[in-house]
Amino acid sequence: MDRFRTIALIGKYKSPEIAGPLLDLADFLERHGRSVVVDPLTAVHIGDHRRLVLSLEDIGKQADLAIVIGGDGTMLNIARTLAPYDVALVGVNVGRLGFLTDVSMDTMFDTIGAMLDGHYIVESRLLLHSEVRRGGVRVMDVVAFNDVSVNKGAEGSLIELEVRVDRQFVCDLRADGLIIASPTGSTAYALSAGGPIVHPSLSVMTLVPVCPHTLSNRPIVVSAESTVEILVGSAADVRVHFDSHSHCELKDGDRVVVRRCPDKIRLLHPSSHDYYHMLREKLRWSEKPGR
């Protein structure tokens, strides 16, 4: 039985350089007996009038595989939408290889051809579900792939947060902010704030203070089965961001609740995928001093 009979192609929006490779990939897949569909934005952008155009929700219901051509940001946006449908995802990077989009344009046909033959690695990534509660009323409900971050605004001073895990008091935090990161998000904003790199196979969340007033406030790692609550004590200019794709202005007394999302992301990697090799390349660990 053939794997991945219906394949969706989704391209980075407003990136003219992907049109040619995406159309070539569509032809390649059809020559291999697969049905190809595209989302509306991709169809308009590349001028493809031959393939069936489906909404992302319908792609989730009908496609066996979605190939995302762009970068990690594009993959983040698509993954959040398709997660409830358990569609397998492959990322093709149009620039340098990313943490999530690890198929090179130069080897795209060979790599995807091998995947169609069953040569790939499956990786499951957890998502974060977050709510903003105000006076007991839920005012925002968002899924994040990388992180949920509570931060001061451009003109704000240090913010005051009360942090609880599973209703147990952890600390009162005075800082520029606090990041709750998934393992995937450990190599994003949390890394730049001094958080640890967490292997994506682990079922954990990382709490990383941003520029804390007390230097002893350090990142901590908690179970992904935990519920993290952040109570805003001082909100002159405070907001919460979800993967940097959406945000909410916060008020005194607001509560941000973060827990594991029941949906997961199913990523497919080439059979040669090596997580630690990818870290060395992306973080330049192998470079010699002075280079």
Tokens at 137, concatenated: 């009323």
What region does 4 belong to: left with phi over 0, alpha with psi -120 to 50, or beta? left
Tokens at 59, concatenated: 């792609």
d(CA 67, CA 108): 11
d(CA 190, CA 179): 6
Q: ∠ CA(254), CA(259), CA(263), 5° rounding?
A: 130
Q: What are the residue numbers of the active site? A: 72
DSSP string across the chain: --S-SEEEEEE-TT-GGGHHHHHHHHHHHHHTT-EEEE-HHHHHHHT--SSEE--HHHHHHH-SEEEEEE-HHHHHHHHHHHGGGT-EEEEEESSS--SS--EEGGGHHHHHHHHHTT-EEEEEEEEEEEEEEETTEEEEEEEESSEEEEEE-TT---EEEEEEETTEEEEEEEESEEEEE-TGGGGTHHHHTTPPP--TTS-EEEEEEES-SSTT---EEEETTS-EEEEEEE-SSEEEEETTTEEEEE-TT-EEEEEEEEEEEEEEEETT--HHHHHHHHHTTTPPTT-
